[in-house]
Structure 1
Amino acid sequence: MLNLRRIHHIAIIASDYEVSKKFYCEVLGLTLLSEVYREARDSWMANLAIDGHYQIELFSFPSPPARVSRPEACGLRHLAFSVENIEQSVAHLLAAGVACEPVRIDEHTGKKFTFFADPDNLPLELYEID
Structure 2
Amino acid sequence: MILNGIHHIAIICADYARSKSFYTDVLGLRVIREVYREERDSYKLDLAIGDHYIIELFSFPDPPARVSRPEAQGLRHLAFAVSDIATAVKELTAKGVVTEPIRTDPHTNQRFTFFADPDGLPLELYEAV
- CA drift of 1:117 comes to 0.1
For the residues of structure 2 that align with 1:112 and 1:28, how far apart are their CA atoms?
A: 19
Q: Which residue is 1:54 aligned to? A: 53
Offset, 1:70: 0.7
Q: 2:36 aligns to what?
A: 37
Aligned to 2:100: 101
Percent of aligned pairs with the same amino acid: 64
Give the deviation of 1:9 after TM superposition.
0.2
TM-score normalised by structure 1 residue count: 0.98
Equivalent residue, structure 1, for 2:127: 128
> Where does the alignment leave 5 or more consecutive residues of structure 2 unmatched?
none
Question: What is the CA distance between 1:50 and its match in structure 2?
Answer: 0.5
- In the other structure, the counterpart of 1:110 is 109
Question: 1 CA distance for matches of 2:66 and 2:22?
Answer: 19
Tell me the distance in 2 between the aligned counterparts of 1:69 and 1:93: 22
Q: Secondary structure at the match of 2:118?
A: coil
**Partner amino acid, structure 2, of 1:72:** E
Which AA in structure 2 matches 1:60?
A: S
> What are the Cα deviations for residues 31-78 of structure 1, in whole angstroms up to 9, with x where unaligned?
000000001111000000001110000000000001111111000000
Matched with 2:78 is: 79
AA aligned to 2:84 is: N
Scaled by the length of structure 2, what TM-score is found?
Answer: 0.99
Alignment RMSD: 0.4
Distance 1:38 1:53 in 2: 24
Q: Matched residues in 2 for 1:114 and 1:42: separation?
A: 35
Q: Which residue of 1 aligns with 2:69?
A: 70
Question: C-alpha separation between the residues in 2 aligned to 1:73 and 1:36?
Answer: 32
Aligned pair count? 129
